[in-house]
């Protein structure tokens, strides 16, 4: 099966993997898509703490938001977007914040939940990190559902690295509260049996220069039975550090999330 579709001004023939498409070698537009918010009142960003446990987080709320994206990320050593960028004074990674700012162009609010701190990373082995991150994502979903300014917004999840497996697991625990999931440069395969139970539209994004990551994501695609897509950003390494690649990844994610969250917003 071959899907024929357009990217920018080009028309690409893309071979289907498990009834979905994988982009390779295509030029991906880095600008905001038509209809995205370009000039508007600036979004409000503030540092907050989620309750029980008191986890640091950053909430960005653009005017007229039509959805909320919760981002959970792991320790820098486990996070491909960590790279060489140090965390800022609020404890959040500068590159994650850049992605969230780009998502505001799609009229999406964002909640960045702080990654595991140094103490947690030292005390918890790899498998426990996933369990703790999944629980933290569920806590964030529950917290947003109790906030008057957020409760009416359809919610999506975005995660990188090992946190991708945690986000997918969390989505199976709160299926009524999650409308879409994106995992970029992540390890969705670590979700294990949760993959077959997931019934939420899921987008996987991998760099074209990340053959190991592509193998992990292809394995996850075979287990997923929900609406799914695997996108490859040409020439990008795991951290999307090449010029334009981070923006390309963010707009792929934003378009996927905005389409599904906006549809839920309009049905209300």
Closest-CA residue to 221 (of 253, 258, 196, 184): 196
- Record the tokens describing residue 237, joined without a space: 């390494």
Residue 43 has phi, psi (to 5 degrees) of -70, 155
What tens digit of pLDDT does each residue of 153-163 get? 999 999 988 89
Strand 55-61, strand 108-113: pairing: antiparallel
Q: Is the pLDDT of residue 10 over 50?
A: no
Q: Say what angle helices 245-267 and 94-103 make with each other, to 10 degrees.
A: 50
Q: 50 pLDDT band (50/70/90 cuts)?
A: low
Report whether pLDDT(180) > 60: yes
**pLDDT tens figures, 68-100:** 999 887 655 556 665 433 333 333 456 777 787
Query: Quick one: pLDDT at residue 130?
Result: 85
Higher pLDDT, 6 or 44: 44
Task: Please tell me which residue, 172 or 1, carries the higher pLDDT value.
Answer: 172
Strand residues in 133-240 grouped as ranges (E): 155-161, 180-186, 202-207, 228-233
pLDDT of residue 166: 93
pLDDT at residue 84 in the model: 33
**pLDDT range class, residue 57, cuts 50, 70, 90:** confident
Q: Is the peptide bond before 53 cis (omega within 30 degrees of 0)?
A: yes
The mean pLDDT value for 220-247 works out to: 94
192: pLDDT strictly greater than 90: yes
DSSP annotation of 242 reads: S
The residues, any chain, with a CB within 8 Å of residue 242's CB and separated by 6 or more, are 235, 236
H-state helical runs in the chain: 94-103, 118-123, 126-145, 163-173, 194-197, 211-223, 245-267
Q: Is 206 helix (H, G, I), strand (E, B) or coil?
A: strand
Instruction: Dig out the tokens for 62 from the structure.
Output: 């653009």
User: What is the mean predicted confidence (pLDDT) over 12-30?
Assistant: 35
Q: What mean pLDDT, rounded, does the chain reach? A: 76
For residue range 101-152, what is the model confidence (pLDDT) as tens digits? 888 889 999 998 865 544 444 444 444 578 888 988 999 999 999 999 999 9
Task: Please give the share of the chain, as a percent, with pLDDT higher than 70.
Answer: 66
User: Once rounded to an integer, what is the mean pLDDT over residues 222-250?
Assistant: 93
Query: Which domains does the chain show, CATH number per domain?
Result: 45-267 (3.40.50.1820)
In this predicted structure, what is the pLDDT of residue 49? 66
């Amino acid at each position: 099966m071959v899907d024929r579709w357009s990217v920018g001004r080009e028309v690409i023939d893309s071979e289907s993997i498990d009834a979905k498409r994988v982009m390779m070698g295509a030029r991906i537009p880095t600008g905001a898509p038509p209809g995205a918010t370009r000039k508007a009142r600036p979004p409000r960003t503030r540092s907050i703490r989620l309750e029980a446990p008191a986890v640091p987080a950053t909430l960005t709320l653009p005017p007229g938001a039509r959805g909320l994206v919760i981002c959970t990320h792991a320790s820098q050593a486990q996070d491909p977007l960590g790279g060489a960028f140090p965390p800022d004074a609020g404890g959040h990674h500068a590159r994650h914040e850049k992605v969230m700012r780009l998502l505001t162009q799609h009229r999406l609010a964002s909640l960045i939940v702080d990654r595991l701190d140094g103490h947690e990373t030292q005390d918890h082995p790899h498998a426990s990190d996933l369990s703790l991150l999944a629980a933290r994502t569920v806590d964030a979903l529950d917290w947003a559902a109790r906030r008057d300014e957020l409760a009416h917004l359809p919610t999506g999840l975005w995660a990188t690295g090992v946190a991708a497996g945690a986000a997918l697991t969390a989505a199976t625990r709160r299926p009524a509260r999650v409308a879409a999931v994106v995992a970029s440069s992540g390890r969705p395969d670590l979700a294990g049996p949760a993959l077959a139970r997931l019934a939420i539209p899921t987008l996987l994004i991998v760099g074209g220069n990340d053959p190991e990551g592509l193998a992990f994501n292809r394995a996850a695609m075979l287990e997923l039975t929900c609406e799914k897509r695997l996108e490859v950003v040409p020439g990008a390494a795991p951290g999307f550090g090449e010029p334009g690649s981070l923006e390309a990844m963010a707009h792929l994610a934003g378009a996927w999330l905005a389409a599904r969250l906006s549809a839920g917003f309009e049905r209300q």
